[in-house]
Chains A and B, each alone.
Chain A
Amino acid sequence: MEFKQISFAYQMKGTFIKELSGTIEKNKVTSIIGPNGCGKSTLLSLLARNRNIDAGSITLSGKELSEYKAKEIAKKIAMVYQNNQTSEDVTVEELIRFGRVPHKSLWQKDSTEDEKIVAWAIQCTNLQSYKHTYLNELSGGQRQRVWIAMALAQKTDILFLDEPTTYLDIYHQIELLQLVRKLNEEYQITIVMVLHDINQALRYSDCVILMKDGKIIASGEPREVITEKNIKEIYQVDIMLNTEKETGGSYIIPLGI
């Protein structure tokens, strides 16, 4: 998936996303990070065609994104938000079944293949024992897994996650990120996620896109992008980048502003 020179403006406001170009690499985990309001989520919604770009071009498998039908996109890209609402009377399984909607016509019943995929999505996200539970009876972490399961049921090659860990405690954050990693490794799903935690981005992604004020400051492998200089530039925070002795993984420590 590639995007070239894309721009976007919210109504009544000036241009917000300014001539961004970049590539989302297939079968990799890409994290978008940057300060609040820098356009991370907007970029994600443009790539998912939730919003239409004003200028530039986005291509998915060599074809212009704007030329796809809505249902075709829904078969290629699934999206999970940080905060999802639904009425309180939906069960986990019902919700996950909605993921099959793009693959069927309005009145078509679930085929055995649909059943299989739903069961697979439930198993991937470890929700077997909650199938008939109502969504509002679940914890935040479990609920986020349900939304991921619904996205999985869409059977897309690409999964977008918009701040998936924001409202979760550390256990559920790690659980979710490990799930994302597993989905990428076992099922070769291309993942693009907006993250806030730089250390998590370092640890769980193959590529990082750094953004500020609607622009991409740097992109590439995590350790090339997350440098003391870049972080200082976009967050105005002094950090120290360390390498762990045992695993060779990197981590940052904020020093001050």
Chain B
Amino acid sequence: MNKRRERNKIVIYFLLVSIFLGSMIVYAAIKGSIPISISQLVNGLIYGGDEQVEVIKDLRFPRIIVAIFTGAVLSVSGVLFQAVMRNPLAEAGILGISSGASFFTFFGILFLPGWYISETLFSFIGGTIACIIIYLLSWKSGLKPLRVILTGIAISAMFTGLRDALINICSFLNISVGATNASNLTMKTWEDVQIIVVCGGALLAVAFFVSPWCNLLRLEDKKIANLGIRIHWVRIFVSAIAVLLASVGTSVAGVIMFAGLIIPHIARQLIGANHYILIPFSALSGALLLLSADTFGRLLIAPLEIPASTLMAIIGGPFLIFLLRKGDKINGI
């Protein structure tokens, strides 16, 4: 009885979020500087030849898809970080992993500009370096939540500084570094879509595949080892997926803080901590959140735009404070 009710609740939440996401996609597609009706959009997509629809297809669609996948990868990355570090505040942005990825993305642009996957590869490297530093600096203290967060702040500051320095140097030398210095979702192309759909999609699938491990990580290391699981490999593997997810999101959309914090927390409240369900649900809700943030940021003060990352910071900052306030419930903060 209890179980069935639980299952129904989960199904309802999934349906709700899917419906919201669907509506948001349609809303994002028809609203903007070229407003069109749904029927015009559908007609144009099916029969072609509608100039306005073609423009929307080239400008708005990639942006919508990138927003959806970025939201999904960042949220799931947050779920994995929180599981593997047993830290409710762990998230790529706060840990400095996004900053690391973003800084290294520049190297991709500077040194291998012709190769479109190079930014993503370099951002993987940057994210991994940031993550390794965190583990090195906080491993001995047993990954204490506060220590991890403080290390993350330091790493984040360092990489953000390096990145800004690099931008300054580049502009001084008249090297154009393109639009990547802004953390937003404007000017996304089908190439970006390709990267994030292929890499992001594959990584999301892997993340879902390791959900039994994430469930197991709720036990202590020694206990997991007693169950015959090689805990170090589990930790490395799950961390790696989390880093890659965050990096691919960052390489395409720039640093977007807090998506990986807000979504997993709300998702856990709604549907519980079972990662089989939590991971797909977080992906879906993360997609909804970022697409909403981007769409409203685009429409609120049109023709000006508020970047999605800015809106996320405005929502996410207070959310973090709220989490810290109920911190006595959170072990070690």
Contacts and interface: CB of A to CB of B under 8 A. Distances in A.
Contact of B220 (A70, A74, A86, A89): A86
Given A87-B273, A89-B268, A78 B220 contact: no
B326 interface: no
Interface residues of B, number: 22
A234 interface: no
A224 to B, nearest CB: 32
Interface stretch (B120-128, B227-235, B306-314): B227-235
A84 B229 CA distance: 18
B85 to A, nearest CB: 12
Contacts of A48: 226
B213 A98 contact: no
Contacts of B273: 87, 89-90
Nearest to B210: A106
A196 interface: no
B272 interface: yes
A102 interface: yes
B9 interface: no
Contacts of A86: 218-220
Interface in B309-329: 329
A106 B223 CA distance: 17
A192 B184 CA distance: 60
Contacts of A245: none
Contacts, number: 57
B162 to A, nearest CB: 35
| Highest count of chain A CB atoms <10 Å: which of B213, B220, B223, B331 | B223
A81 B219 CA distance: 12
B213 A132 contact: no
Contacts of B268: 89
Nearest to A105: B212
A70 B229 contact: yes
A141 to B, nearest CB: 19
Given A81-B222, A87-B86, A99 B227 contact: yes
Nearest to A160: B226
B149 interface: no
Nearest to B273: A89
A101 interface: yes
Contacts of B222: 50, 79, 81
Given A70-B228, A73-B228, A132 B216 contact: no
Contacts of A89: 218, 268, 272-273
A88 B326 CA distance: 14
A101 B216 contact: yes
A171 interface: no
Contacts of A154: 227
A187 interface: no
A132 B2 contact: yes
A98 B213 CA distance: 11
Contact of A74 (B213, B226, B329): B226
Interface in B202-241: 209, 212-213, 216, 218-220, 222-223, 225-230
Interface string B42-82: 00000000000000000000000000000000000000000
20 contacts: A50-B225, A50-B226, A70-B228, A70-B229, A72-B228, A73-B228, A74-B226, A74-B227, A75-B228, A77-B226, A79-B223, A86-B218, A86-B219, A86-B220, A89-B272, A98-B216, A102-B227, A102-B228, A106-B212, A107-B212
Interface of A: 48, 50, 69-75, 77-79, 81, 84-90, 95, 98-99, 101-102, 106-107, 132, 154
Return the 4 tightest CB-CB contacts between A and B, nearest first.
A74-B228, A71-B228, A89-B273, A102-B228
